[in-house]
Structure 1
Amino acid sequence: MAGYSLLRREEGFIRVHRLVQAVIWGSMSVEDRQASFTTAAELLLAAQPSDPSNPTTWPTWAVLGPHLLHLTTHPAGTDSHPLRDLLDRFCRYLHARGDYAGALRLALAFHRLRRSTLGADHPDSLSSANNIAAALRGLGRYDDARAMDQDVYTLRRRTLGADHPDTLTSANNLADDLYALGWFDRAQALNEETLEHRRRTLGADHPDTL
């Protein structure tokens, strides 16, 4: 196939033409397709770097990203909780490297999908909403970020409880928005409340408390 440009060998990769992919996929049984998807998902999960905010992991995220996006738009991928977690981390990678517009597009698309399939209160839907707010904040759209963070904070507080780590992260994000908008008294009050929750649940020396 390489002689007909249907397959290319690149450094560390084999790239297969989309037509060949479609023919192979169409010839597979339902069971083989599911097994192929499962194997690909497991490989991605095993290869994920530890910290999307660490620049040393970015080359790996850049390689994994297209495969992750392909799998998570696959019909079997929307119900794969581990892949949803991995997708959120990929959004954080885009945000960390400064691609706020890309992070926003991705977070918006998967937030719509998750709301329709899981509901607005589901933790995965709220994770996507949190990613939207982070991207908006990165783009300087502080009013929009505050509105989204307020909704996420309210829903997380109601569904997860006031002391849950995700709830406290949302409180911290909301305080950042308030500070950016110049609402310093409100930001300080919310940060002081969050600090007390973290001291009680995590201890005074925990990195999140500090």
Structure 2
Amino acid sequence: MIKIGRRGLMNAPGVSLSACALAVLAVALLPLPVSAGIKCWTNDDGVRECGNTVPPEYAQKAHRELSKEGITVSTTERAKSKEELRIERAEAARTEAIRAEKERKIRERKAKDRVLLSTFTTENELALVHEGQVAAIDIRIIHTKQILGQLERSLEQLHTQAAKLERRGKSITPELENRIAKIQQKMQDSHTFIERRRRQKAEMAAQYTEDVARYRELKGIKKAN
């Protein structure tokens, strides 16, 4: 074992110059302790300060750690505020909702494609089903119009009765008023029903056009000119 006294390693007997150089190099290559880093932050007055540790009051703010040579070793971003975290979470939730909706539409489209291909073997079958659905709605509209005609005639008769009472100087009875109100409500309901069925037909026509186009695409059928 080599002992180093007050005279130093260079003057120790039996120690060569190369051994001394290796010893110095080994010491130089030892890693610096963590505490050797210098941390810099900005105080409340906007002044940059540096030290071995960041004061507690600035620990949540951005700061950098520098080496002895002044080179940035690491950077710590400031802690986000509650409002920033709330906005960040809301944005993440919105992005996730958009992604989930896209995936839902893809699954829905695939399910419809399977039904379309498994239900109809030809485009003609698709047309026949659509025509049958439209015919069923038309029948209901026609039937409702017939009922509406009957209600109109009944209402006309009640109005005639009310007019006769007024000509005699008599008031319309509560019973007659009630009958008139009920028929008027039924007529309004009938008009609403017919309008809904007409909208349904328009929606079905649009859906049929979409289904035919998709069916042709899945089957590789080119549209005839």
- Larger Rg: 1 or 2? 2
Identify the structure with the greater helix proportion: 1
* Shorter-normalised TM range: under 0.3
Higher relative contact order (CA 8 A, sep 6+): 2
TM-score (norm 1): 0.22
Identify the structure with the greater strand proportion: 2
TM-score (norm 2): 0.21
